Amino acid sequence: MKKLTLKSGEGCRRILAICIIVLLLSALIARAFQNDFGKIKVEQVSFDSRGAIINAELYYPVGTSDRDSLPAVVTTHGGGCTLGVTKGIAAELARRGFVVLNVSAYGTGLSDQPIYDEAGQGVDGFNMMQAINGLYDALDYLRTLKFVDPTRLGSVGHSMGATRTFAAAAMDAGYLSVNDQMLNTLYEDFGIEISADQINDDADAIAEAQLNEDQLAHYYTIKESVEEHYNTRVKAEIALGIGGGNAAMTGTVTVAGHEVTRGVQTNFAFVTGEYDSLWGFTDNENARAGWQAPDGFNQDEWYSINPAENNSVSLGSFATESIVSNEALKEAIDNRTTRALLCTGPETHSKEFFSKGTAETIVNYFSQTLNYNRGDLTSADTDPLPADQQIWMYRAVFNFIAMLAMFGVMFSLGALILRSKTFSVCVSDIKAARPAINKPVYWVMNAVTVVLGFVAIYLANKNGLFFFDQSPFLPLGRTAVLTVYFLLVLSVGSIIITAISIVLNKKATGSTGLVNLNYKVPVMSFVKCLGFSVVLIIAAYTCLSVSEYLFGQDFRLWMISLGAMKNEWWTLGLHYVILLFPLYLILSGAVNYTIRTDIPEWKDTLITVIVNSLGVWLCCLVNYIMMRTSYDGTLFSSFICSYQFVMWVPITTYIARKMYNLTKNVWSGAMLNTFIIVWSMVSTLGVNDTYWGPNFISNFFNV
C-alpha cells in the first residue's frame, strides 16, 4: 500500500493510472449492460420540431432496417430530472425488441426550450403544469422513422412527465372515436341531423340508411382516411407516479352538434408504488369517472370502458390475462378502451423510476397493448423474454463505480498538481500544533452533529421545495431550492456547533483553534486555489466527456448524478456558485475544525464522514421503517427529491476533509464541493419549472 499513496509523486501517478483504468473499464461494462452485450443499438439523437432541439437516446435492435416495422415507446422523466432516470426502463423495453425514444423534455438536460411548445407555453406566462414540453413532438418524431410501426406507439412518463404524457396523448389521440368523427362527418358534410339520443349510434348504420350510393361511397372514402389517421395515434400510455386526481382522462367534445364527455382515445394505465404520497385512486371521483366505474374499481385488473353506456367491465387480472388467450382483452385493446391501475409494490415516488417492479410492470403492459415481446405475442413463433429478467441495474452500478473512479482521478491529479511550482502556494502552513482531544467533548459534539444532519434533512424535506420561487437568476427546478435550504440549515447549525467548540477550546487551551483552518490566505493563494479547483473540475468533466464519447455513459446511480452540460449551462451554474460557495466555506470549516492526530489519518477521515452523514442516513432509515410498519398515506420525511443526499453528503464530506489534508486550508475543498454540487444540479435538474430559452452562447456556437 505504500506504493499507492498521495504523499509521493510516484504514488499519485500509480493511483491516477489505476483510477483511469477503472473508470474506462466500468464505463465499458456499463455500456455492455445497456446495449445487452451488443444486441441493442443506442444512439444519441437530436431533432428540432419548433426552433429548439430535443435531446434523446434512441434504442433499437441491432440489424434493424427500413424493412422492419417495430412497435415504439417514448420514455420520459419527471420534474427536476433528465432522461438519465429512465435509462433502465428504456433498456428493458429495447431488450424485448421495442424501439425506444428516451427523451429529455424541453428545458432539461441537453434539450432547448422553444419560444412556444406544443401547448403554446413559452416566454410569457410559462406554467410548468400546462407545458407538454416536447412529448407530443417526440411521438411525431417516432412516426418519421421508417422502421417504426406507427400503429403501435406507446408512451410512459414519471411524475410531472406522466402529466405531460397524458397531455400529449390527449393532443395526439384526442377524445373523438372513429364513430364520433364519422357522426360529425354526417352532420357537417352531409347535413344529416342527429339527435342527442343518436350520438352513440353506429355512424355506418345511419349512413347506410340515409345516403345515396354516390354519397355513401364518398362517406367510406372519408372513413378510410379517418381510420388511417386514428390508427397511427398513440395506442397505449402509462402515467407513472401521479395521483388519482389526474385520472379522469375525459374531455368535453362536440359530436354532431351536441356537447358530450369522452375518454382519451388510447389505452391507459396508472402505475404507482404503495408508498407514493400521490396515491388515492379508488376513492377518487375523477378516477372513477375515468374508469366509468361509479361504484369503484380494483387495482391490478384490466378494465374496458363503454362510453355509450357509461360503464366499464373487468377483463381479469393484469398478472394472468393475456391477449394470446383472452379475446375480449385483445378486442378492447384494439378499440383503445382499456384502463388499469397497477401497483409496483413497496416503493416511494422517486423509487418508481429505479425499480425492478416498475420495469417489469411497464414491460408487461406494453407487451400486451402493443402485442410485442421479441415478436408478436399472438404469433406461435414468438419466444418472449420474461419481464422479470432484467440487467439494467448493473449498468447503474458500474456507472457509479466510474463516478467514484473519477473522484480518484481528481484527488491523485490534484496531489500531483500541488507538487508543481505554480500551485504549491495553494498549500498553507500549519501554524500551531493541534491540542489533545478531549474525548468526552469530542463525542458529544459528534452526537450533536448527527442530530444536526437529521434535523437539516427533515426540515429540507418538509419545507425545502418551497423555500423560494424560481427566478430568471435562479431558474433551476425545485430540487435545487431544496438543496439550498438543506445547506443553509446545515450551515447555521454548523456555525453554532463550531462556536461552542471554539469557546470550549479557548477555555481549555487559550486558543480558538481557528488558525489552522487558514481562512486568511494571501490573495494570490486564493486565486491559485480557485484555479486549482477549476483545473480539477475540468479534469472531472473530461472524464465524463471521454466516458460519454467512447461508451455513451454518464455518472449516475439513481438520483446521484453528474451529466453533460450545454455551453450556456456553465454561465447559469455561476449563479448557483455565488449562492452556495459561502455555505460550503462554512461547512468546510466545521468539518475540519477538529482533526484527531492520535489515530491514523484514514480512520479520522472515516469517522468524520460517518458522523457528518449519519443524521441523513438515520432520517432516511426512520422514514423507511415507519413507511413499512405504520404508513397512513403520508411519509415521516418524504425523500421524494432528496435521496441523492444519502450519497452526496458523505462524498462532499470526504472531499472537504481530503482537500484539507492536501492543502491545509478550507478554500479548495469548499470551492471543489461547490463546483461539483452545482454541476450536478445544473446538468440533471433542468429549468423546466421556468422559461429559460437559448441565449447568445448557444446561438453563437449553434449548441
pLDDT tens figures, 260-275: 989 899 999 999 999 9
67 lies in the same domain as 159: yes
105 lies in the same domain as 52: yes
User: What is the predicted pLDDT for the residue at 567?
Assistant: 82
**Within a domain: 182:** no
460 lies in the same domain as 446: yes
The 3-class SS string of 408-449 reads HHHHHHHHHHCCCCCCHHHCCCCCCCCCCCCHHHHHHHHHHH
User: What is the predicted pLDDT for the residue at 592?
Assistant: 96
**Within a domain: 226:** no
User: What is the predicted pLDDT for the residue at 308?
Assistant: 75
**Within a domain: 559:** yes
Domain CATH code at residue 277? 3.40.50.1820
**Within a domain: 179:** no
Residue type, 102: N
- Mean pLDDT within 233-245: 89
pLDDT above 80 (res 429)? yes
247 lies in the same domain as 361: yes
The alpha carbon of 543 is separated from its chain's Cα centroid by a whole number of angstroms, namely: 22
Range of the domain at 532: 9-24+395-701
| Contact residues for 328 (Cβ-Cβ < 8 A; gap 6+) | 304, 315
438 lies in the same domain as 354: no
Q: Are 466 and 481 in contact (CB under 8 A)?
A: yes
Q: Report the predicted TM-score, pTM, of the whole model to 2 decimal places.
A: 0.95
Pick the range with the lowest mean pLDDT from 528-542, 560-574, 588-602. 560-574
Kindly provide the b/e burial profile for residues 195-230, where b requires at least 16 CB atoms within 10 angstroms of the residue's own CB: eeebbbeebbebbeeebeeeeeeebeeebeebeeeb
| Residue (of 331, 418, 464) closest to 663 by Cα position | 418
Instruction: Read off the pLDDT band of 650 (50, 70, 90).
Output: very high
User: What is the predicted pLDDT for the residue at 398?
Assistant: 98
User: What is the predicted pLDDT for the residue at 701?
Assistant: 65
Instruction: Read off the pLDDT band of 698 (50, 70, 90).
Output: low
| Contact residues for 288 (Cβ-Cβ < 8 A; gap 6+) | 282, 294, 295, 296, 297
Of 390, 408, 427, the domain-final residue: 390
Instruction: Read off the pLDDT band of 688 (50, 70, 90).
Output: low
Give 270 or 295, the one with higher predicted confidence: 270
245 lies in the same domain as 373: yes
Pick the range with the lowest mean pLDDT from 124-138, 334-348, 573-587. 124-138
User: What is the predicted pLDDT for the residue at 447?
Assistant: 97
Q: Could you give the residue ranges of the DSSP H alpha helices within 144-212?
A: 160-172, 178-188, 203-210
408 lies in the same domain as 385: no
pLDDT above 60 (res 8)? yes
Instruction: Read off the pLDDT band of 190 (50, 70, 90).
Output: very high
pLDDT tens profile 279-290 = 677 777 878 888
Instruction: Read off the pLDDT band of 357 (50, 70, 90).
Output: very high
**Within a domain: 210:** no
Of 390, 413, 435, the domain-final residue: 390
590 lies in the same domain as 675: yes
pLDDT above 80 (res 355)? yes
pLDDT tens profile 30-59 = 999 999 999 999 999 999 989 889 999 999
Q: What percent of the chain has pLDDT over 90?
A: 76
**Within a domain: 217:** no
| Contact residues for 25 (Cβ-Cβ < 8 A; gap 6+) | none
User: What is the predicted pLDDT for the residue at 424?
Assistant: 93
- Mean pLDDT within 611-639: 94
Q: How far is 527 from 497, CA to CA, in rounded Å?
A: 29
- Mean pLDDT within 641-654: 96
> Alpha-carbon Rg of the chain, whole angstroms?
29
User: What is the predicted pLDDT for the residue at 697?
Assistant: 67
638 lies in the same domain as 570: yes
User: What is the predicted pLDDT for the residue at 284?
Assistant: 78
The rounded mean pLDDT for the chain is: 92
Torsion of CA 485, 488, 489, 493, to 10 degrees: 170
Domains: count for the chain: 2
- Mean pLDDT within 569-580: 92
**Within a domain: 2:** no
- Mean pLDDT within 514-519: 90
Diameter over CA atoms, the chain: 107
Q: Are 316 and 298 in contact (CB under 8 A)?
A: no
User: What is the predicted pLDDT for the residue at 123?
Assistant: 78
User: What is the predicted pLDDT for the residue at 465?
Assistant: 87
**Within a domain: 200:** no
Of 390, 409, 444, the domain-final residue: 390
- Mean pLDDT within 318-341: 96
Most confident residue range from 475-479, 486-490, 685-689: 486-490
User: What is the predicted pLDDT for the residue at 702?
Assistant: 61
310 lies in the same domain as 409: no
15 lies in the same domain as 70: no
Most confident residue range from 48-52, 228-232, 598-602: 228-232
660 phi, psi to nearest 5 deg: -65, -40
Residue 232 Cα distances to 141, 149, 150, 229, 669, angstroms: 13, 8, 5, 5, 55
354 lies in the same domain as 423: no
User: What is the predicted pLDDT for the residue at 470?
Assistant: 80
The 3-class SS string of 343-371 reads ECCCCCCHHHHCCHHHHHHHHHHHHHHCC
pLDDT tens profile 434-472 = 777 888 889 999 999 999 999 999 999 999 988 888 887
| Residue (of 216, 191, 186, 190) closest to 203 by Cα position | 186
